[in-house]
Amino acid sequence: MDFKYFINNVSKLSEIALGGLEVQFDLAPKFRQKYTQEFIDARNARKAAVLALFYPNALGETCFLLTLRANYNGIHASQISFPGGKFDSSDYSLKNTALREAHEEVGIQPDDVHIFKQMTDVFIPPSNFMVTPFLGLLNYTPSLTKNEEVEENIGVLLKDLLNENAFSTTVVTTSYAKNIPVPCFNLSNCVVWGATAMMLNEIKVLLKEI
């Protein structure tokens, strides 16, 4: 998708209703439950936020940023995700959390990002986080860095996400399940599944409206 076309439709995107959990769960593993808000409140889920950042590449095509998490001793090690992390009291808002974490992890300048939409929260049971995704716009191709949490920065062409051939299934083994089939997206030679795929599916359905 041409970046100028994308920019011209940002105001429209900001007004379109979200697909919500129904759309997210089209990309959820079969074992994943639709937890009630009462259940989540009882778990005292920790707040977090991520940034889905859209920007132009050198050819003027719209891209968005994913990261490969570093291989550390944790539940989400070596998984594909958006830049982001847990809410800190100094953030004042979850939007600021997403911007701060993107700056710390990959060097995105917060003041240069235009946040134009907040997406549906995603509850992540293994780590007990309630994650709020934000859609952001950057008018130039960023010079990315990496901190210790990031193994690799992954630029994805938006047209690849919108291509129906990007949808697939794969078999994964995690710290909490073994050899389980899961729906996924194949993007930039990476398999994206779980919470990130759920967020991406809601974004994909939203973008199909323009």
Q: How far apart are CA 34 and CA 198, in angstroms?
A: 13
Residue 179's pLDDT band (boundaries 50, 70, 90)?
Answer: confident
Residues spanned by the domain of 86: 3-207
Asked whether the predicted pLDDT for residue 25 surpasses 90, the reply is yes
The most distant pair of C-alpha atoms in the chain lies apart, rounded to whole Å, by 49
| pLDDT value for 32 | 83
pLDDT over 80 at 14, yes or no:
yes
pLDDT at 73: 56
CA distance 157 to 61: 7
98 compared with 125, residue with greater pLDDT? 98
User: Stretch 23-49: mean pLDDT, rounded?
Assistant: 89
Q: What is the CATH number of the domain that holds 190?
A: 3.90.79.10
Query: What one-letter code names the amino acid at 9?
Result: N
Contact 79, 69 (CB under 8 A): yes
What is the model's pLDDT at position 76? 46
Q: What is the pLDDT of residue 70?
A: 83
Q: Which residues of 165-176 are buried (b: 16+ CB within 10 A; e: fewer)?
A: ebbeeeebebee
Tokens of 51: 């940034």
Whether the per-residue pLDDT at 16 is higher than 70: the answer is yes
Q: Quick one: pLDDT at residue 39?
A: 87
3-state secondary structure of 173: coil
Q: Which ranges in 83-146 belong to alpha helices (H)?
A: 94-106
State the residue for tokens 């990007």.
166
Considering its fold, how many domains does the chain have in total? Answer: 1
> What is the reported pLDDT for 74?
52
Is the pLDDT at 176 greater than 90? The verdict is no
Task: Give the chain's mean pLDDT.
Answer: 93
The region, left, alpha or beta by phi > 0 then psi within -120 to 50, assigned to residue 158 is: alpha
Residue 175 confidence (pLDDT) above 70: no
Q: What percent of the chain has pLDDT over 90?
A: 81
Q: pLDDT tens-digit profile of 137-173?
A: 999 999 999 999 999 999 999 999 999 999 999 998 7
- Extract long-range pairs of 128-131: CB within 8 Å, 24+ residues apart: 128/43, 128/44, 128/45, 128/46, 129/45, 129/46, 129/47, 129/48, 129/86, 130/40, 130/45, 130/46, 130/47, 130/48, 131/48, 131/49, 131/50, 131/84, 131/195, 131/199
Instruction: Give me the mean pLDDT over the 76-99 stretch.
Output: 90
